[in-house]
Amino acid sequence: MVGKPQHITIAFDVMGSDHGPLEVVRGAAQLSLESPHIHALLVGDRPVIDEALASIKHNGERISVHHAGDFVGMDEKPGEALARKPESSVAVAARLVAEGEAHALVSAGNTGAGVLACKRHFQLIPGVRRAALATVYPTRGVRGAKQDPFSLILDVGATVEATAEDLVAFAVMGSAYARIISRNERPKVALLSNGVEPQKGPPRVVEAHQRLSQMSGLNFTGNVEGIDIPRGTVDVIVTDGFVGNVCLKMLEGVHDTVMELAQYAYKESLRWRAGLAMLSSGIERLKDITDWEQYGGAPILGFDRIFIKAHGRSKARAIANAGKVAAKAVANELGTAIQEGLAK
């Protein structure tokens, strides 16, 4: 496990995001200006990074570059791509973190490749059998000292079939993460099921419910239903990777459909347009509150090193914030917190 370092180095997988290397370099440059204790290790095509850096305001004392000549594209199959491209930026970045050259990894590239690279190079925390991919979702409620409007859902795709033991570990990991990142002293943790009653759901969920109810040090509130996700009833929602991924995609689909309907309404009728215009300041406020770029990214939990997966569409600000989230997780020894949580 990585101890508490004085200076934190974050390895950025520069290549492979939707906006190309420039946005990631800009994000790291922004981080170098804003956070003196964080150093950025940019992993990717050196000439491309150098050209971008030379024309961006940055602090050269806080940035270094590691050349990686290949990268995994968004549309590539992770396993095949990593086997074919062992020197891809995400693989090299994960290796550098494992070797101690950096304390955490941030990538806005192919999620599967990122998770697989971590599986190959990082170790699972003792007591964790499988890693979980978490994501944040904007909700009606706010939580923690940061007044965070985001709740954490895990797993959303790393472990398709989770056992009761895995779900318990996910709950502990999610709780530790929310405590550290959202500064939420006692985050409310719940299992996603088809009813709030303890006996509802498949056997693994029922068993996990029993075990979580008996755990001290965890603010387990029981089961929640899908409807509770956007309501923000709890701070951490635990499920397996299959259900989590279906939920996530459905929530994204609903969001996109609402936006399309709003655009349709705007074009269709003058009255509707006027109505939307009157609501515009409120909509802007809502956008501010639920702006995922301020969160930066979501973690892969369970490994001895930190991996923050930034959204593929991340711009510089989101990348910089993902770097800050990663640094915060390192500084607050997230791995140790998870390990201690599992021991209780």
Residue 47 or 203 having the CB closest to another protein: 47
Residue 24 or 208 having the CB closest to another protein: 24
Least spacing, CB of residue 47 vs another protein, in Å: 7
Q: How many residues bind another protein (CB under 8 A)?
A: 24
Residue 64 or 163 having the CB closest to another protein: 64
Q: What is the DSSP string of 209-258?
A: HHHHHT-TT--EEEEE-TTHHHHT-SSEEE--HHHHHHHHHHHHHHHHHH
DSSP state of 17: S
Place of tokens 């059998």: 129
Least spacing, CB of residue 87 vs another protein, in Å: 10
Least spacing, CB of residue 32 vs another protein, in Å: 9
Q: In the chain, how many H helices and how many E strands? A: 13, 11
Residue 23 or 166 having the CB closest to another protein: 23
Residue choice 66, 95, 179, 188 for contact with another protein (CB under 8 A): 66
Residue 75 or 99 having the CB closest to another protein: 99
**Kind and range of the H or E run holding 151:** strand 148-154
Of 166-195, which residues contact another protein (CB under 8 A)?
A: none
Assign 288 to helix, strand or coil.
helix
Residue 59 or 332 having the CB closest to another protein: 59
**Kind and range of the H or E run holding 41:** strand 38-44
Q: Does 69 bind another protein (CB under 8 A)?
A: yes
Q: Does 67 bind another protein (CB under 8 A)?
A: yes
Of 219-238, which residues contact another protein (CB under 8 A)?
A: none
Q: Does 291 bind another protein (CB under 8 A)?
A: no
Rounded distance, CA 68 to CA 108, Å?
16
Residue 53 or 208 having the CB closest to another protein: 53
Mark 68-83 as b/e (b = at least 16 C-beta within 10 Å). bebbbeeebebeebbe
Residue 59 or 123 having the CB closest to another protein: 59
Least spacing, CB of residue 39 vs another protein, in Å: 5
Rounded distance, CA 82 to CA 209, Å?
37
Are the CB atoms for 236 and 150 separated by under 8 Å?
A: no
Least spacing, CB of residue 141 vs another protein, in Å: 40
Residue 62 or 130 having the CB closest to another protein: 62
Least spacing, CB of residue 115 vs another protein, in Å: 25
Least spacing, CB of residue 6 vs another protein, in Å: 8
Q: Specify the amino acid at residue 56.
A: I
Are the CB atoms for 324 and 333 separated by under 8 Å?
A: no
Are the CB atoms for 144 and 219 separated by under 8 Å?
A: no
Rounded distance, CA 29 to CA 297, Å?
17
Rounded distance, CA 2 to CA 190, Å?
29
Least spacing, CB of residue 97 vs another protein, in Å: 14
Of 5-64, which residues contact another protein (CB under 8 A)?
A: 7, 9, 33, 39, 46-47, 50, 53-64
How far is C-alpha 336 from the geometric centre of its chain's CA atoms? 19
Least spacing, CB of residue 312 vs another protein, in Å: 26
- Tokens representing 241 are 């990777």
Of 76-135, which residues contact another protein (CB under 8 A)?
A: 101
Query: Using CB under 8 A as the criterion, which residues of the chain lie in contact with another protein when the complex forms?
Result: 7, 9, 33, 39, 46-47, 50, 53-67, 69, 101
